[in-house]
Amino acid sequence: MIRLGVNIDHVATVRQARRAKEPDPVAAAVLATLGGADGITVHLREDRRHIQDRDVFLLRETVTTRLNLEMAAYEEILTIALKVKPDEATLVPEKRQELTTEGGLDVVGNVASVGDAIERLKGAGVHVSLFIDPDPFQVEASRKLKADAVEFQTASYSEAKTEAEVARELEKLRSATAQAVALNLHVHMGHGLNYWNVQPIVRIPGVVELNIGHSIVSRAVFVGMERAVREMKQVMQEHYPNPRK
Ligand code: PXP
């Protein structure tokens, strides 16, 4: 089965709206795990708009599955990551004005800085994944820099308006996955996935992990975190081509 990493940034967003103590993303991580999450994902942004340093350190102590830290390759954040030693670090691009991560990391255009971050994180025993567009040149560059995994951004797919556009985006994801698997890269996907558009994604051969936040936390507001995660796992299982594997 494909692993589900639950991104709990939005829980911290609600807390930060009041600079209060609740809701605590650490509690959300426990409930997501009870619901069947295979991992917990958080993005420590340079502007600290949601997840705080304290969350990352506490999650390291309390997450019993896998902790995936999304981060830009900024020195300050790298220093924290090297202390926290998450199971995985996913390198993402970060712009100050964006609402959320926009587009993939340009590995081709940033070989030196991305390569340096990969080397230091891997040296600390952290698996490194690169959040990239499903583009053959970015996949090739990721392999050359010895990343362990790539996370294909599914924003273009999830925002596609017409059937033809959806089919085109799915084909890009399928072909980039085949290329990455042939190069021994683990393939993850994420961004904009929900209970419906995730279905064709789990049918793509070779994908080992999905990172999903917005749709799960939105549903959790109404039905609770544990149930929202369990329902996403159910949808993934139902559409996975080999449910017994
Ligand atoms: N993967 C990456 C690299 C992300 O930056 C995000 C958003 O923080 C996600 C996955 C999850 O996206 P969404 O919240 O749209 O499910």
Residue in the block written with tokens 């587009």: 103
Report the distance separating Cα 9 and Cα 216, nearest Å: 11
Count of domains forming the chain: 1
- Whether residue 48 is contained in a domain is answered as yes
- Whether residue 230 is contained in a domain is answered as yes
Report pTM: 0.96
The sign of the torsion formed by the CA atoms of 54, 57, 63, 66 equals positive
Cβ neighbours of 136 (radius 10 Å) = 12
Residue 160's contacts (CB-CB under 8 Å, 6 or more residues apart) are 166, 168, 169
Residue type, 79: T
- Whether residue 89 is contained in a domain is answered as yes
pLDDT of residue 94: 79
Instruction: Report, as an integer, the average pLDDT of 55-76.
Output: 97
In short, whether 49's Cβ falls inside 6 Å of ligand 1 is: no
| CATH assignment of the domain containing 22 | 3.20.20.70
Q: Which residue CA neighbors atom 7 of ligand 1 most closely?
A: 191
- Whether residue 244 is contained in a domain is answered as no
pLDDT of residue 95: 74
Q: Which residue CA neighbors atom 6 of ligand 1 most closely?
A: 191
pLDDT of residue 24: 98
Residue 69's contacts (CB-CB under 8 Å, 6 or more residues apart) are 41, 42, 43, 44, 56, 81, 84, 86, 88, 89, 90
The answer to whether the bond into 23 is cis (omega within 30° of 0) is yes
Residue range of the domain that includes 91:
3-239
In short, whether 129's Cβ falls inside 6 Å of ligand 1 is: no
The sign of the torsion formed by the CA atoms of 222, 223, 226, 230 equals negative
Q: What is the mean pLDDT of the chain?
A: 96
Q: List residues with catalytic annotation.
A: 43, 70, 191
- The model's pLDDT over 149-194, given as tens digits with 9 standing for 90+, comes to 999 999 999 999 999 999 999 999 999 999 999 999 999 999 999 9
Paired strand residues for 70? 43, 90
Closest CA relative to residue 212, chosen from 65, 18, 1, 10: 10
- Whether residue 245 is contained in a domain is answered as no
- Extract the tokens encoding 52: 């705080």
In short, whether 190's Cβ falls inside 6 Å of ligand 1 is: yes
In short, whether 133's Cβ falls inside 6 Å of ligand 1 is: no
